[in-house]
Amino acid sequence: MNGQHLLIAGGGPVGLVTALLLEPHFDAITVLERHDGGMPSSRSLQLVLGERGRHALRCCGLEQAVIDRGLWVRGRENGAGGGFHAYDEDGGRILAVSRVVLQQLLEEAVDTRPGIRRLDGTAVESVDFEARTVEALTRTGRDTWQYDVLVGADGVRSAVAQAMLGEEEMTLHKMDLVYREVPVQDPGWSHEAFRYWSDGEIMAGSFPGQGGQRGLFVMHPRGMEQDLFDEAKLFTRFPSLKGLGHGVLSALKAAPAGAMGSKHCSRWRQGQAVLIGDAAHAIVPFMGQGLNTGLEDAVALMRQYRSRGRAGHEAVLERFVRRRQQPAEAIRTLSDRHARHLLGQSTVTEQALEERSGAALRSMGLPDTYASCAFSRTRFDRILRREWRAMGMDAPVRRKVA
């Protein structure tokens, strides 16, 4: 490879897994992470891994280590008394794991690889795609890196995406909700269930965690903090949360509010630079597939390099983009719809279609849409088309992706 250098912007799980998977194909890999130790406080405390995400970890040799530090979740419970609903009739499970734990395991794995270097506290400021250079602000000043391939895995507010795309090429769809999460002492809820509450305006939820703690998140309209937390209206809306104690209200009010929404980029590549994960296609978190889709991107990119033959970097990256853009659009559609379902905002038509499609798929011996997303690696666009075919309906015209 004669000195081929891969530069990755973003040292979160997607960036680190990309480094591990692509190490055999580059002589040197540098990972630039803008945060100087620790993770952003507005991010979710608990992450969920389905088959797509676990497969990526399997490819890195880390799946069992993550399983050992996580908890299996078999279904969801409505905190208002709706009972337990299994995710999958065949016993499919998702894995809940602490964000901090997953990050630590990945950093430790990367740090054992002599061909990979991590640089925390290094924020990308500009990219010259023709010269193939990145300028970044470091702990001691500014520095410049030359790259043969640049991967932008630096999240929704990606500096690489900002440098690559014009305003008309990148669309952010913001929800009216903000997100807060705090750790709480486990009040004895099932360790095998995601517990949630929703009244059509706000939603609360809790994934199990190891060590006697759970994460409790609340999604609410911006500006509602005083009513919900100072006046304890959260407990009025969801009485079963009272057992957590009033201290949780002040903790939630003090927790940073994270924006909720999705992101669409019409173009993911420029020259020998490419966007992956949330930098290219952030989605709302209600299907639990945001991280999983980003990790699936990393596996897809690895596969393109394994089969590259004599192809140059631009051809490899273009093949990757063509393979991944349609699935990304499909999971965005599915996540938006599932958000309305969990928030109690589905229309009568949407409710009828969801029930009809689930029944039709089961009658054909197929898993429903949620189970296919969580427990298989079937492309999301194929899952969406299969759902429509099962109902005997024509699939919507696919959005043309540049």
Domain boundaries, the chain: 5-171+262-333, 174-259, 341-390
Distance of alpha carbon 346 from alpha carbon 368, whole angstroms: 18
Mean pLDDT in residue range 374-383: 94
What are all long-range contacts of 54-59, with beta carbons under 8 Å and residues at least 24 apart? 54/95, 55/295, 55/296, 55/299, 55/377, 56/17, 56/21, 56/295, 56/296, 56/298, 56/299, 57/17, 57/295, 59/21, 59/299, 59/302
pLDDT of 155 higher than 60: yes
Residue 37 burial (CB count, 10 A): 7
Distance of alpha carbon 217 from alpha carbon 207, whole angstroms: 9
pLDDT of residue 51: 97
pLDDT of residue 317: 98
* Cβ atoms 19, 116 nearer than 8 A: yes
Percentage of the chain with pLDDT > 90?
Answer: 67
* Cβ atoms 155, 10 nearer than 8 A: yes
- Look up residue 275 and give its DSSP letter: E
pLDDT of residue 122: 96
Mean pLDDT in residue range 93-120: 96
Task: Give me the CATH code for the 5-171+262-333 domain, please.
Answer: 3.50.50.60
Distance of alpha carbon 119 from alpha carbon 50, whole angstroms: 29
pLDDT of residue 42: 52
pLDDT of 349 higher than 80: no
Dump pLDDT digits (tens) for 226-243: 889 988 899 999 999 998
Mean pLDDT in residue range 321-345: 89
Position 394 confidence tier, pLDDT thresholds 50, 70, 90: low
- DSSP sequence for 331-388: HHHHHHHHHHHHTT---HHHHHHHHHHHHHHHHTT---HHHHHHH----HHHHHHHHH
2 or 110, higher pLDDT: 110
Dump pLDDT digits (tens) for 157-201: 999 999 999 999 999 988 888 999 999 988 889 899 999 998 888
Those residues whose C-beta lies under 8 Å from the C-beta of residue 214, and which sit 6 or more positions away, are 46, 183, 184, 185, 186, 189, 206, 207, 208
The mean-pLDDT minimum among 98-102, 256-260, 376-380 falls in: 256-260
Position 396 confidence tier, pLDDT thresholds 50, 70, 90: low
pTM of the predicted model as reported, rounded to 2 decimal places? 0.92
Token couple for 154: 């630096």
Mean pLDDT score of the chain: 90
Percentage of the chain with pLDDT > 70?
Answer: 95
pLDDT of residue 250: 94
* Cβ atoms 116, 110 nearer than 8 A: yes
Dump pLDDT digits (tens) for 18-50: 999 999 999 999 999 999 875 555 567 899 999
* Cβ atoms 275, 300 nearer than 8 A: no
Burial of 46 (0-12, 13-18, 19+ CB in 10 A): buried
Distance of alpha carbon 324 from alpha carbon 301, whole angstroms: 9
Position 402 confidence tier, pLDDT thresholds 50, 70, 90: very low
* Cβ atoms 152, 274 nearer than 8 A: yes
Count CA within 13 A, CB hemisphere, residue 166.
1
- DSSP sequence for 156-209: TT-HHHHHH--GGGEEEEEEEEEEEEEEEE--S--TTEEEEEE-SS-EEEEEE-
Mean pLDDT in residue range 94-115: 96
pLDDT of residue 40: 56
pLDDT of 71 higher than 70: yes
Kindly report the backbone phi and psi dihedral angles of residue 372, in degrees, each rounded to the nearest multiple of 5, phi listed first. -65, -40
Residue 331 burial (CB count, 10 A): 26
Those residues whose C-beta lies under 8 Å from the C-beta of residue 367, and which sit 6 or more positions away, are 88, 89, 90, 92, 361, 375, 376
